[in-house]
Amino acid sequence: MMMKMKNILNTAVILLTFVFATSCILEEVEPEYDVVGAVGTISTLTASNTNPEVGQTVTFTMTIFSEHEPATELRMNRGTGTSASTVETKTFTSWNTENSYVESFQYTIPEDAAGTTLTMEFVLVTESNFTARRSINLNVAAGE
């Protein structure tokens, strides 16, 4: 019986030590931190026509925002990643981190895209040079 009481007492001491130790850790104030850089967001992306023909103009519309730091530019690229070439860039001189913005680009389908799937990529760049990317595919009709 005495051995059982010792085991219960030892278990109780261990549990209390654990509870007190963890409660001290939880009471500490977490250190404050600064946002070093932030990534914007392209929340929506639509195309006026995803099955265009050569010579047609497609309008791309997107909703963008960057809530932790201003965005500096929005690029429209043909292709993605390392094989992307920039078609047009919009530069922002003022940016309100409280708002979202609707932006649009127009692109006329070139002859070399006939019969291919054309990938258009949009890149939002923040002041820290972090990027957010979103792309859409266009199935270009074959030429006659």
* CATH number for the domain harbouring residue 86: 2.60.40.10
pLDDT band at 34 (very low <50, low <70, confident <90, very high): low
User: Does the structure show a pLDDT above 80 at 124?
Assistant: yes
Domain residues for the domain of 112 are: 41-139
Which are the contacts of 57, defined by CB distance < 8 A and separation ≥ 6? Answer: 106, 107, 108, 109
> What pLDDT score was predicted for residue 37?
63
DSSP code, position 48? S
Tell me the backbone φ, ψ of residue 143, rounded to 5 degrees. Answer: -70, 160
88 pLDDT band (50/70/90 cuts)?
very high
Q: Considering its fold, how many domains does the chain have in total?
A: 1
Is residue 32 domain-resident?
no
Is residue 11 very low, low, confident or very high in pLDDT (cuts 50, 70, 90)?
confident
The mean predicted confidence, pLDDT, of the chain is 86
H runs (alpha helix) in the chain: 2-27
User: CA 39, CA 89: separation in Å to the nearest integer?
Assistant: 18
Q: Are 124 and 40 within 8 A, CB to CB? A: yes
pLDDT band at 71 (very low <50, low <70, confident <90, very high): very high
Q: Which range is least confidently modeled, 17-26, 83-92, 134-143?
A: 17-26
Asked if residue 54 is part of any domain, the answer here is: yes
Asked if residue 21 belongs to a domain, the reply is no
Nearest-angstrom CA–CA distance, 80 and 86: 10
Report yes or no on 87 lying in a domain: yes
In a domain, 57, yes or no: yes
Whether the predicted pLDDT of 48 surpasses 70: yes
Sheet holding 101-108, edge to edge: 41-47, 57-65, 101-108
**Helix, strand, coil tally for the chain in percent (to 5):** 20, 40, 40
pTM of the model: 0.73
Average confidence (pLDDT) over 80-98? 89
